[in-house]
Amino acid sequence: MTKRLILTRHAKSSWDDPTTPDHDRPLNERGKAAAADLGAWLASRGYQPEEVLCSDAARTHETWSGVAPELEGAPEVTLKPALYHAGPDVMMAVLRHATADTVMMIGHNPGISEFAERIVAQVPPNPDFQRYPTGATLVVTLEIDDWGQVEYGFGAVRDFIVPSEVPA
């Protein structure tokens, strides 16, 4: 059986108010636009998440809120406090409890870029992959029957995009 993982770093956040705690920082206008563009890109490629696992930070939840309207029948998001600034091993532990065939995970750097690099058998040739900028999204397929079987290096890259590459 094939499982699909959509791994997204939150869109661009606002630094307008330096007193806002990191956890509560919202998206800026560029981030909101990028999230909607990303949702349209996912829909155009047929990448429809059935389950969304998201850090409970404001900027990750707002990223999903921008993506979701562009998708047909978007699932409800499950906010996961453990994904806030999570490292790769925590992300893997959360993913192993997923239940749907297509799972979207929304998180933060540096953990998400490290997780992306570890989950795939071969990294994509895109020069932005290593830095995994805001809004970066990796789509991976894994030949497993259950998410509990996922291991590092199992993923085959299907797509990778950053917001500046999304067609207008």
pLDDT tens track for 1-37: 899 999 999 999 999 998 999 999 999 999 999 999 9
Angle (nearest 5°) at CA 59 between 53 and 64: 45
Helix (H, G, I), strand (E, B) or coil at 102: strand
Q: Is the pLDDT of residue 78 over 90?
A: yes
* pLDDT confidence band for 74 (50 / 70 / 90): confident
pLDDT at residue 168 greater than cutoff 80: no
* Distance between CA atoms of residues 49 and 130, nearest Å: 24
Beta strands 51-55 and 137-143, pairing class? unpaired
- By the 8 A CB rule, do 135 and 11 touch? yes
**CATH architecture of the region 21-26+33-128+138-165:** 3-Layer(aba) Sandwich (3.40)
**Per-residue model confidence (pLDDT) at position 160:** 97
Q: Which percentage of the chain shows pLDDT scores above 90?
A: 94
User: What is the residue extent of each domain of the chain?
Assistant: 21-26+33-128+138-165
Please, are residues 11 and 162 in contact by the beta-carbon 8 Å criterion?
A: no
CA distance 110 to 114: 6
| Per-residue pLDDT at 94 | 98
The whole-angstrom separation of Cα 113 and Cα 123 is 11
Above pLDDT 70, what percent of the chain? Answer: 99
Q: Are strands 137-143 and 156-161 parallel, antiparallel or unpaired?
A: antiparallel
